[in-house]
Structure 1
Amino acid sequence: MNDLSLMYKRILSLIGTGKENARQVSYIASVLNLSNRQVREAVSDMVVKHKISIGTSNSHGSCGYYFISTDDEKEETINNLKSRAFKILKRMNAISKAPLKGQEKIEL
């Protein structure tokens, strides 16, 4: 982990171990004076390029990022990511089939 940037190390220092210690993106961003997008992109990069096991949860009371510490947390993170990926692919498919004209005439 010595090859991580200072920003990445600071983000990691704010992430707790286990789902019950998850930290919200907005909290991390606020403490480090970063945008939510910067935090999300950095976490993604650390997971993909550096193989750091950072989980994500959308559960009430434990929403945010955390270091995965159990097989159940790992499985939950995988299922969460699969669900999000499926929704994105579904939306992409709908957009690819949608007409380019006509929606501006939809009345509110």
Structure 2
Amino acid sequence: MIDALKKNIFLTVIVLVTTCAFYVFSGSAVAASPTDDLRPTLDGMVEAIQNPAYAREENKALRREKIMEIAHRGFDFTTMSKLVLGKTYRGLNTEQRKYFVELFTKL
């Protein structure tokens, strides 16, 4: 009886210590927030938009090109396309998927 009680107490302590350790160490291992992940991309886009060299009407296409270049580095348009279309995406053939991603990227 006493041995079973000691065993239960020992197991309870092990579970508590493991849980506490997981809780303490998981805080430092948590991934950055989505905003933190997107921050470099968003900052780059804002910088391109606010850049006086791109502000003139004749540089509008150049500004759009710069913004899209930054967007391609920071966003996964293929995955976003899958999420936008949902179940419909599965019904598309490879050529249709590629075409949709291309159009979606240009938005």
TM-score (norm 2): 0.24
More helix by share: 2
More strand by share: 1
Q: Relative contact order (C-alpha < 8 Å, sep 6+): which is higher?
A: 1
TM-score (norm 1): 0.24
